[in-house]
């Protein structure tokens, strides 16, 4: 991210916080502010959380508590590819658990983490709206369905190779 992009993101976040601070119970909108920050930066950098704390007058420790409580928030920069494993009922029943375990073993990461080479990050997802294709995994914006743990490994290979080009 360039400095200009960071400045734009900070300006936009600042405007959002300023608007929230006009509302009746501004602190109850902390999660919305963190969502906004994550959508602007792709994750929640420490400096941004400090900035949110300062602008909202909320202790930084509290912000960290909220950010680490929800799986949705990433505290690390995302990998080049984000793998979202659907853990909705249809996918779970059809073997999402085995796919997830294989991914964790292969990539050596847990949810919210990034592989050492920065290639993949892993996150849980609720129903991705493609239950007919269960079990489903979304990589970046692409849905992959009818998966097995073996097919998932082949898919990883495709993305690894694609990154070499």
Q: CB under 8 Å to 12, separation ≥6 — which residues?
A: 36, 40
Q: How far is the CB of 132 from ligand FES (least distance, A)?
A: 8
- Show the tokens assigned to 32: 């919305």
User: d(Cα 68, Cα 66) in Å, to the nearest integer?
Assistant: 6
Other beta carbons within 10 Å of 132:
9
Q: How far is the CB of 15 from ligand FES (least distance, A)?
A: 35
User: Of the two residues 47 and 140, which places its CB atom closer to ligand FES in the complex?
Assistant: 140
Q: How far is the CB of 66 from ligand FES (least distance, A)?
A: 27
User: Of the two residues 10 and 131, which places its CB atom closer to ligand FES in the complex?
Assistant: 131
User: Of the two residues 9 and 122, which places its CB atom closer to ligand FES in the complex?
Assistant: 122
Q: How far is the CB of 144 from ligand FES (least distance, A)?
A: 11
- Helix, strand, or coil (residue 134): coil
Q: How far is the CB of 142 from ligand FES (least distance, A)?
A: 14
**H/E stretch holding 85:** strand 81-86
Among candidates 99, 90, 88, 86, which has minimal Cα distance to 137? 86
Residue with tokens 């993305």: 159
User: Of the two residues 58 and 127, which places its CB atom closer to ligand FES in the complex?
Assistant: 127
User: d(Cα 76, Cα 60) in Å, to the nearest integer?
Assistant: 17
Residue nearest to ligand FES (CB): 88
The residue ranges that bind ligand FES (CB under 6 A) are 86, 88-91, 127-131, 134, 136
User: Of the two residues 78 and 88, which places its CB atom closer to ligand FES in the complex?
Assistant: 88
């Amino acid at each position: 991210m360039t400095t200009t992009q960071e400045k734009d993101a900070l300006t936009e976040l600042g405007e959002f916080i300023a608007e929230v601070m006009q509302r009746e119970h501004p602190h109850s909108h902390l999660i919305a502010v963190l969502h906004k920050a994550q959508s602007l930066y792709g994750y929640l950098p420490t400096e941004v959380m400090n900035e949110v704390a300062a602008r909202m007058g909320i202790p930084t420790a509290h912000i960290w508590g909220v950010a680490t409580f929800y799986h949705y928030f990433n505290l690390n920069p995302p990998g080049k590819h984000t793998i979202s494993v659907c853990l909705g009922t249809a996918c779970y029943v059809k073997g999402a658990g085995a796919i997830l375990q294989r991914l964790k073993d292969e990539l050596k990461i847990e949810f919210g983490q990034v592989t050492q080479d920065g290639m993949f990050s892993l996150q849980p997802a609720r129903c991705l709206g493609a239950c007919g294709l269960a079990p489903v995994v979304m990589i970046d914006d692409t849905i992959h369905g009818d998966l097995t743990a073996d097919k998932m490994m082949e898919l990883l290979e495709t993305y690894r190779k694609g990154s070499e080009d």
